[in-house]
């Protein structure tokens, strides 16, 4: 195109230099498949995790606690893996008090932002596919301005990782509190904690915290080495985001099945 004609736009906003193509996209592959799968997976996770968070039951089976309910802060908690800090009304699930941290962390995550901007907002749905919106303001206004809070959710998420690792360590005790126990549930909680650490350590904010704003790497050899490691993990952040999301749901499901007596925990020691 030679000028700012609106005819060539797929209504994706001002794009004076875009070629005058009337079609929304010239892509002939199944570009819609990835956003569709993203919607299906995220909706499934949100539905399952909401159901479980509000259920307020079957989240503890000695010595395992579901990651959705940890840290369990109220006196109404099943089991006692974490110091109970306050008494809340018993109809409020202990999961509700802590939900904001993992939810805020994932919602403001750079990868998930890309995923849901594309799949839910269609902004744009895929590369070289025009978006339906006429205006584009990026993340410069509320509420999207709040995405800047990601680094703080990152720090809070680290605290949660410590707690969930602690839960996995406690799962090496048996029902009587004696050490030296190991069941499948112990491995499930360990794997879940490890995946959450990988998700956090591969975070873009983590990479910035570790190696950002340094003018000279040679004067900070330790941070340079840490930054190199985090950068390598960072390249797989999307994979860690998905695996840890499924991991946390499966860990919860495992505890649910134990707590309801549906299955028994295979025991190795
Ligand atoms: Fe995804 Fe920070 S960028 S968790």
pLDDT in tens, 69-128: 999 999 889 887 788 888 988 899 999 999 999 999 999 999 999 999 999 999 889 998
The ligand 1 atom at the shortest distance from the C-alpha of residue 200 is 4
Pocket of ligand 1 contains residue 154 by CB under 6 Å = yes
- Tell whether ligand 1 has an atom less than 6 A from the beta carbon of residue 117: no
pLDDT digits (tens, 9 = 90+) for 168-179: 999 999 888 899
Q: How far is CA 21 from CA 18, 26, 170, 238, in A?
A: 8, 9, 62, 33
Whether the CB of 106 sits within 6 Å of ligand 1: no
In the chain the beta strands, taken as DSSP E runs, fall at 60-61, 64-65
- Band of residue 19 on the pLDDT scale cut at 50, 70, 90: confident
**How far, in Å, from the CA of 26 to the mean position of ligand 1?**
32
ipTM of predicted assembly, 2 dp: 0.99
Rounded Cα distance between 133 and 148, Å, is 23
Structure tokens at 68: 């959705």
From the CA of 177, how far away is ligand 1's center (Å)? 36
Rounded to the nearest whole angstrom, what is the distance from the C-alpha of residue 140 to the centroid of ligand 1?
Answer: 19
- Report the Cα 56 to chain-centroid distance in Å: 22
Cα–Cα distance measured from residue 112 to residue 108, given in angstroms and rounded to the nearest whole number: 7
Q: How far apart are CA 177 and CA 163, in angstroms?
A: 18
- Taking residue 116's Cβ as centre, other Cβ atoms within 10 Å add up to 18
Residues paired with 65 in a beta bridge: 60
Asked if 205 and 151 touch (Cβ cutoff 8 Å), the reply is yes
pLDDT digits (tens, 9 = 90+) for 204-262: 999 999 999 889 999 999 999 999 999 999 999 999 999 999 999 999 999 999 999 99
Predicted confidence band of residue 140 (pLDDT cuts 50, 70, 90): confident
Ligand 1 pocket residue status of 111, Cβ below 6 Å: yes
What values do phi and psi take at 135, rounded to 5? -115, 150
pLDDT of residue 1: 36
């Amino acid at each position: 195109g030679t000028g700012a004609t609106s005819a060539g736009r797929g209504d994706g906003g001002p794009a004076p230099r875009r070629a005058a193509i009337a079609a929304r996209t010239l892509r002939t592959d199944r570009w819609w498949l990835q956003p569709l799968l993203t919607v299906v997976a995220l909706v499934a996770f949100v539905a399952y995790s909401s159901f479980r968070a509000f259920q307020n039951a079957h989240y503890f089976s000695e010595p395992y606690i579901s990651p959705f309910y940890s840290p369990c802060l109220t006196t109404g908690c099943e089991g006692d893996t974490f110091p109970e800090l306050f008494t809340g009304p018993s109809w409020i699930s202990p999961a509700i008090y802590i939900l904001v941290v993992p939810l805020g962390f994932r919602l403001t995550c750079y990868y998930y932002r890309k995923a849901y901007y594309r799949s839910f907002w269609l902004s744009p749905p895929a590369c070289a596919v025009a978006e339906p919106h006429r205006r584009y303001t990026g993340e410069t206004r509320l509420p999207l301005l709040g995405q800047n809070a990601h680094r703080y959710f990152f720090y809070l998420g680290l605290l949660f990782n410590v707690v969930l690792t602690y839960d996995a360590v406690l799962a090496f005790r048996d029902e009587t509190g004696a050490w030296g126990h190991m069941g499948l549930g112990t491995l499930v909680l360990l794997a879940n904690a490890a995946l959450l650490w990988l998700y956090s350590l591969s975070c873009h904010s983590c990479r910035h915290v570790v190696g950002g704003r340094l003018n000279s790497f040679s004067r900070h050899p330790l941070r340079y080495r840490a930054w190199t490691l985090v950068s390598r993990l960072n390249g797989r952040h999307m994979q860690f985001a998905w695996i840890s999301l499924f991991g946390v749901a499966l860990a919860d499901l495992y505890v649910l099945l134990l707590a309801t007596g549906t299955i028994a925990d295979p025991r190795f020691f």
